[in-house]
Amino acid sequence: MTTSPRYVGIDLGTTNSAAAVFDGDTVTLVRNAQGGTLTPSIVRIDGRGNLLVGSRARRYLESDPDNTRLEFKRLMGTSQEVEFPASGQRRTPEALSAEILKSLRADIQEQFGFVPDYAVISVPALFELPQSAATSEAARLAGFRRVELLQEPIASALAAGWSADEAIGSWLVYDLGGGTFDVSLLETRDGLLRVVGHDGDNFLGGKDFDWAIVEWALGELKAREGIELSRANPAHAGAIRKLKLAAEEAKIELSRASSTVLAVPALVQKDDGPFDLDLELTRATLERLCQPAIERTLTVCRRLLETHGLAPGQLSHVVMVGGPSVMPAVRKLVGEGLACALADRLDPMTLVAQGAAIYAATAGLEARTQEIAVSEGQKVWLQYPAMSSDLTPHVVGRLVETGRSAPSQIRMVRADGLWESPWAPVDDEGAFVITTSLIARRPNVFKIEGRRDDGAHVHLAPSTLTIVQGLTISDPPLSRTIGVALANDQVRVYFERGAPLPTRRTFTLMTVEGVAKGSRESLLKIPIVQGEHDEAHLCRLVGTLEIAGEAVKESLPSGSEIEMTLELDRGGRLSARALIPAIDQVFEDVAQLLVPEADPEVLAASIDAARERIASLRADAFRRSARPQLDRLSSLDASLGDLEADIAAARGGDADAAQKARRALLELDAHLEELELDRKWPEIDEDARDSLIWATSWVAEYGLPHEQRLMSETAKSLEKARKDRDPVELQRQLRLISRLGNTASLRHPEAWTRRFEHAASQVGNASDIVKAQALVKEGREAAAREDQGALRSITQKLWQLLPSDVEKRRLSYDSGVR
Amino acid sequence: MSARPWTRAGRRRSALALVAAALLVGGLVGRLGAGGAIARRGDPALVFAVLMVLVTVGLTLLGLLITLRGAFGWPLARFVLIPLGLGRPAAYLARHANQWQRDPEGGAALAEALALLRRPRHDPAAAERIAALVDSVATIGAAGITASALASASRGDRDGARELLLGALEIEGTKALPFPQRIARAWLIADAAERGRWRRVVELADARGPALPASARLLAGAAARFAGTHSPTDTGLWILWLLSPGHKDSRPLLERAIATPRVLHRRPDLEEAPARGGGVDELGPLPSEPLPRALALHAHWIARDPLHLRLVPSRLGDLCRAWDEVHRSGAARRQAEARAARLGILGQAEAIVERFHDEVAADLADLSLRSGVAIAGLVDPPGELSQRAIFRVRSQLLEGVEELAETMESRTVDKRALPAVEEWRAWSELRRRYERAGALGGLDLRRLMFPQVHRSACNFAVWLWNERKETGIAKPIFRWLLTEAEAVGDEAAIDLQRRNLGVKGG
Amino acid sequence: MAATPPPRFAHNPFFVLGAEPDRPRVELEREGQKLLGMLELGLRSAATYATPTGPEARTPEAVRAALAELRAPEKRLLHELWASFARAEADADASASAGADPFRSPAQPSAPKSDDDEGPGIAGAFALFGWRRP
């Protein structure tokens, strides 16, 4: 067995997967039994329960699609199981991913002669916690003892940076996968690679190009042959699947040719026998079909650059990653759109796996855990970066045993004999620190030597160590902010985006309501959310810690402290722990760490609601001639079309489309909320002005001197809040002004008559109309005899029957903490 | 669940048990004594007569037991069972005692809670029984609130207990019994004495209310010495000590009090407490450059343990002025620009300095909130960073109050009721935040907050009164609203609350 | 209510790494890696770090977080401003009196006794009533 280190990286992709092994010097791609470096992420289980993976499974995609499953990565983290009807088996997406990983693991053993126990697996940058947790679970099922997850763009960046010659400045990784799009802005400086930021669309990818071709083909089919097929109809699912496979092939074909034929024999049964599809598709048509999706990716890129104060022209280059990025149309539009050169010489299909392997080295994740025979000698613990961008990193060590036979000085000698460190003293803890010197871009082997005070040489174990010099990135950064949703719909942020993993934080929260011991109804929820929004309901719920009345040792009063700790390991797995000091009890089970189900009917209802909101906002923006709002609303309206297509597909049984729609709806909600706030301002402002005029006149006429003074001060504060466009402050001042106005107006001799008339005019809305009408009658009589006291009492009773204006939406996932 | 032994069904069960016991006693006597012989002789008239006598004796015994339990049950519970930590029997006796006729469940809960405080460790089961008793009360009173508070204290939630006990002192109506209020006041006095808040001890002892236990009177006497207010003579202190139980435990207190000189006239409150440990003078030479100077001061104050933070106004003023000077002189800006150029982010220097200044303001605001010292008025005129800090303090205070008022309002509208003690806690917290905000923000802030708090709290109290018959806790809310309305000069609210209190028997 | 602001000094990455604010990035990374190694080996010398508000326990998470913060130049600059305190102390030449801990306040205030200036409280106040102390 070779003694040089082995680091394994795996790209577990939606369409294809790949693995690579790094030995500190070169990255070698793992070849499968068919000799390819890409293993299709496809699993088949036949009627006898035999399981096939990769290319061998792919052969059955057309002939037996029901038992040959692909793209299950998109379902990772949901409770959706994948069915294999022939054998009657059901498998979770994790179990299917585990089959792919097992196959890659076997390929590594075949090619390199060892079974990896440790590895780095890449995940899309915008994967949420449940999806990351599911990936770790898949690795466990596949037999890995420990894995770390790395975001795909960082993996590509590492691989690209590793092979580039001293790239300096800012650059982009444009990663268009089968189902996801990620873009990362990177910066290389002093040999250190930094992820400046990333953005993306969790549900945009090559698959969208395929669907665009399918939709086009369906349109042609209807126009030419009068055959109507629909994604929404489960009966057409087989034909659609065939069509999509053909579309995928045609798309790949058009990367080389300028035109191709979309051919599907026996696509459907017509009255006169089977119908064979035969459609010509040109590259120009493909470009036209794909342009909207590519434009969407460019919008995301520009948004990322803008966030970081960069213009497209300022980039040094763009690295293209992922299968669809090979398409000439994509390369052309991206090059033009971002006004910079595209990096060539890099294999977009395997770059991620290569980067993951390099990352395994920086994390010191040696793939083999079998005991490597330790030589005899004084045992010493060593700590050093397995890979370092630094040319002179430190090696820290500590002797396992100290005593008379232990060395008092240590030094290191580089294997090429061209460098040796001075003798470093061993301190009273048995520790020493040595500054090394590395040769750039090479694995550097060092010999460690020890000597005693009397000059005698001491043999140390281990006696050598290897440090690879190269581009590094030390910790996997968190892709999305994580926090706890509070009862007031705010988020208590625990970990910000970019925080290095592993990480752990504790905050003290307070219960909003009590939890009664033994009560079934009494349940305190602590929702954990992920996302960049300030309002909890706009973030995604990724888990809930529940404290049930049945579980508490003692009843908890409201306002009880809860010390809530969240912890994320390097693989992005979340654990939560709530300690309640008052009863000295700990709760640890995080429930529901799953991507929520997306019921098509619920989604459809949400779309209708969104459409209504857009219409109302648009009418309002139109009235105000607010051009920017109108533009934003138009683009939101346009996105509804895509959403509907997804929901139609979800109704046809496409769980992936349902998830995509769910997320898109959340984003849409966030946009609409921003726009609504924009709209509300003029209303609040107008309200403020009206109230000010109304209250000023009353206070001037009937106010006491101190009220008049207060009125003029409040009016000033109100003006300031209006000037600062601060809605919260404005509402406060408004409340005070209304109060002053009300107080003064009540001194008017006919105050209660007026109030009564106003209440009487709304009697149609009363909760008990008969009672309200009786009160109105009584009130009229009181008004006639000018009995202000009776009128007041009647008006107050009337008010109680009118609907309250307090309407609270339960938005923050029913959070029970603040 | 067995945790509700004092429900109506439970009471019926206990009464039946007593009758059965009496009959059993009667029956046994009959069997063992003459009854057997007479029965053997078979004279029905005589048998009947003897039986009548036995039943009469049994019933008399029963009556006697019930009377004894009513009259002497509570003293037995209070002086024997509670000191022994026997919560359940104490609660049973309290429940049936004449003294607790107006609030039997409250009395039982209080007895159980007092016994719980006597036990060496907290007992969750006892706390559950107390909670169940308090829940079973139709209208909560001082005893119920005091019992809940003592259970909280037993669990270690001292702040929560303090808040509830302050509330128990305010309870009005038929359930505002003297005993629980006396216990509440004694606990609050012990709590303040332990924290060295001697003036608070004196205030609590001087407040109107039922007579205090002897130990509390001794604490109050000593506190008056320590606080430098009008205090008893040495002889007076000796007498207080002799009257109070536990002489050994209280001896050090007595000695310390006697060693403290007696002040005959109340010392006038000083404008500002004299610098005492940790003043700027102790900081040694401060740097003259604005940024290092402000940072040195900042670190000095931030380092203080928040629980013990005692930031006197002039010190906070110094700190604010130092930061205002940093802003005015552009010191941070210059340094940031020079470094940004080297780091290659010159374009972002301004935004970073802005963020730095915001962080400074956030810290100043936090210091002000924690120490209870208002920045406004300390720096005149306030510079940019002081202004930002003042605005932050104000927003945080307002948000804190608004958040609770909104929660209260939405709960009232949705009619989502909580147990009465929890309702009282909710109100106490809103009121505490309001008063704290008022103390820091002054009358202006009170005027600004009052409309919303008035609306939420008034509707809440009306709901408590009209629909839930919780008059004991609703009335103090109306009363507080009236006092506050008068303070902020809100005529309509004054009128409304006067009527609320008047119409509802105030 | 808004949260208490994070401790500006106790978690400042420069203090966590024990490095001067103007050190180049490579040196900071090297220092961080060294500290991580030392913590992994359980060395006492790496267990705490000095800050202007007193010593703090150093953890691997804190070192990693400090390194990540300092990699972003804009975040680094902000921390530099807060860490200019080190220079402040040096300017005032006060560190000499503070011994090994360069940030110890020249006059670390004596532990304050209570939140009131009325003197210390008494320990057994609850015991006078026979009650257990909360």
Confirm whether B355 is domain-assigned.
yes
User: Which candidate from A190, A196, A384 shows the least CB-CB separation from C37?
Assistant: A384
List of chain A residues whose C-beta atoms are within 8 Å of the C-beta of residue B160: 557, 559-560
Are A475 and C67 within 8 A, CB to CB? yes
User: With the CA atoms of B324, B328, B333 and B334 taken in that order, what torsion angle do they form, in degrees rounded to the nearest 10?
Assistant: -120
Q: Higher confidence at residue B150 or residue A570?
A: B150
Are A396 and C43 within 8 A, CB to CB? yes
**Is residue B469 domain-shared with residue B331, that is, in the same domain?**
no
pLDDT of residue C111: 36
Q: Which amino acid is at A671?
A: H
Distance from CA of A745 to the nearest CA of B (A): 10
**Is residue B182 domain-shared with residue B40, that is, in the same domain?**
yes
Confirm whether B462 is domain-assigned.
yes
pLDDT in tens, A233-276: 777 878 888 888 899 889 888 888 889 998 888 888 877 788 88
Omega before residue A462 within 30° of 0, cis? yes
Q: Is A397 on the interface with C (CB under 8 A)?
A: yes
Strands A318-321 and A169-176, bridge-based pairing: parallel
**Chain B (343-372) residues lying within 8 Å, Cβ to Cβ, of chain A:** 347-348
Q: What is the arithmetic mean of pLDDT over B89-110?
A: 90
Q: Which of B164, B346, B422, B450 to mutate to test the interface with A (most CBs of A within 10 A)?
A: B422
Confirm whether B58 is domain-assigned.
yes
pLDDT of residue A57: 92
Confirm whether C80 is domain-assigned.
yes
Enclosing domain of residue C51: 13-98
Starting at the edge strand found earlier in the chain, the sheet holding A540-548 runs A491-495, A482-485, A523-530, A540-548, A590-591
**Is residue B164 domain-shared with residue B86, that is, in the same domain?**
yes
Confirm whether B204 is domain-assigned.
no
Confirm whether B51 is domain-assigned.
yes
Q: Is A705 on the interface with B (CB under 8 A)?
A: no
Confirm whether C53 is domain-assigned.
yes
Confirm whether C67 is domain-assigned.
yes
Confirm whether B444 is domain-assigned.
yes
pLDDT in tens, A502-559: 788 888 888 877 787 777 777 888 888 887 777 787 777 888 888 888 888 887 877 7
The count of CB pairs under 8 A between chains B and C is 217
Confirm whether C103 is domain-assigned.
no
Distance from CA of B72 to the nearest CA of C (A): 22
**Is residue B33 domain-shared with residue B143, that is, in the same domain?**
yes
List of chain C residues whose C-beta atoms are within 8 Å of the C-beta of residue A484: none
**Chain B (64-93) residues lying within 8 Å, Cβ to Cβ, of chain C:** 83
Q: What is the arithmetic mean of pLDDT over A218-224?
A: 89
Confirm whether B215 is domain-assigned.
no
List of chain C residues whose C-beta atoms are within 8 Å of the C-beta of residue A196: 72
**Is residue B312 domain-shared with residue B415, that is, in the same domain?**
no
pLDDT of residue A105: 95
Distance from CA of C41 to the nearest CA of B (A): 31
Mean residue pLDDT of chain A comes to 83
pLDDT in tens, A154-207: 888 888 877 666 556 888 889 887 777 888 888 887 777 777 777 777 667 888
pLDDT of residue B23: 57
The C-alpha angle with vertex A559 and arms to A558 and A564, in degrees rounded to 5, equals 110
Which of A469-483, A564-578, B289-303, B424-438 shows the highest mean pLDDT? B424-438
- A806 has pLDDT over 50: no
Of all residues in chain B, the one with the smallest CA distance to C84 is B292
The helix or strand, by DSSP H or E, that contains position B55, with its residue range, turns out to be helix B44-76
pLDDT in tens, B132-152: 888 887 788 889 999 999 998
**Is residue B359 domain-shared with residue B404, that is, in the same domain?**
no
Confirm whether C115 is domain-assigned.
no
**Is residue B118 domain-shared with residue B188, that is, in the same domain?**
yes
**Residues B134, B152: Cα–Cα separation, whole Å:** 13
Q: Is B322 on the interface with C (CB under 8 A)?
A: no
Q: Is the separation of the CB atoms in A77 and A88 below 8 Å?
A: no
Enclosing domain of residue B62: 8-195
Distance from CA of B504 to the nearest CA of C (A): 35
A50, with CB counted inside 10 A (0-12, 13-18, 19+), is exposed
Distances, alpha carbon A799 to alpha carbons A74, A760, A763, A766, A782, in Å: 54, 9, 10, 9, 17
The model's confidence at residue B279, banded by pLDDT at 50, 70 and 90, is: very low
- C69 has pLDDT over 50: yes
- C114 has pLDDT over 60: no
**Is residue B349 domain-shared with residue B466, that is, in the same domain?**
no
Of all residues in chain A, the one with the smallest CA distance to C62 is A503
The model's confidence at residue A466, banded by pLDDT at 50, 70 and 90, is: confident
Q: What is the arithmetic mean of pLDDT over A748-771?
A: 80
pLDDT in tens, B37-84: 555 556 888 889 999 999 999 999 888 888 877 778 888 888 889 999
**Is residue B425 domain-shared with residue B341, that is, in the same domain?**
no
Q: Is C50 on the interface with A (CB under 8 A)?
A: no
Are A553 and B155 within 8 A, CB to CB? no
Confirm whether B253 is domain-assigned.
no
- B20 has pLDDT over 70: no
Confirm whether C36 is domain-assigned.
yes
Question: DSSP of B282-312, one letter per residue?
Answer: GG-SPPSSHHHHHHHHHHHHHTS-GGG----
List of chain A residues whose C-beta atoms are within 8 Å of the C-beta of residue B131: 516-517, 555
**Chain C (36-75) residues lying within 8 Å, Cβ to Cβ, of chain B:** 52-54, 73-74
pLDDT in tens, A375-404: 678 889 999 888 888 889 999 999 988 777
Q: Which of A190, A732, A811 to mutate to test the interface with B (most CBs of B within 10 A)?
A: A732
Q: What is the arithmetic mean of pLDDT over B206-227?
A: 85
Q: Is the separation of the CB atoms in A77 and A130 below 8 Å?
A: yes
- A595 has pLDDT over 70: no
Are C68 and A475 within 8 A, CB to CB? yes
B195, B221, B254: which is the final residue of a domain? Answer: B195
B356, B382, B408: which is the final residue of a domain? Answer: B382
Are A517 and B128 within 8 A, CB to CB? yes
Q: What is the domain count for chain C?
A: 1
Are B1 and A735 within 8 A, CB to CB? no
**Residues A327, A289: Cα–Cα separation, whole Å:** 13
Q: What's the ipTM?
A: 0.76
B159, B174, B195: which is the final residue of a domain? Answer: B195
Confirm whether C114 is domain-assigned.
no
**Is residue B172 domain-shared with residue B30, that is, in the same domain?**
yes
User: Which candidate from B196, B286, B300 shows the least CB-CB separation from C116?
Assistant: B196
Q: Which amino acid is at A27?
A: V
**Chain B (214-253) residues lying within 8 Å, Cβ to Cβ, of chain C:** 215-216, 218-219, 226-227, 244-246, 249-250, 252-253
Confirm whether C77 is domain-assigned.
yes
Q: Is C40 on the interface with A (CB under 8 A)?
A: yes
Q: Is the separation of the CB atoms in C77 and B336 below 8 Å?
A: yes
Distance from CA of C23 to the nearest CA of B (A): 11
**Is residue B18 domain-shared with residue B72, that is, in the same domain?**
yes
Closest CA to A525 of A564, A553, A572, A581: A564
pLDDT of residue B480: 94
pLDDT of residue B111: 94
pLDDT over 90, % of chain A: 20
Q: What is the arithmetic mean of pLDDT over A690-699?
A: 87
pLDDT of residue C98: 36
List of chain B residues whose C-beta atoms are within 8 Å of the C-beta of residue C126: 187, 190-191, 194
pLDDT of residue A97: 96
Q: What is the domain count for chain B?
A: 3
Are B283 and C5 within 8 A, CB to CB? no
User: Which candidate from C80, C109, C119 shows the least CB-CB separation from B277?
Assistant: C109
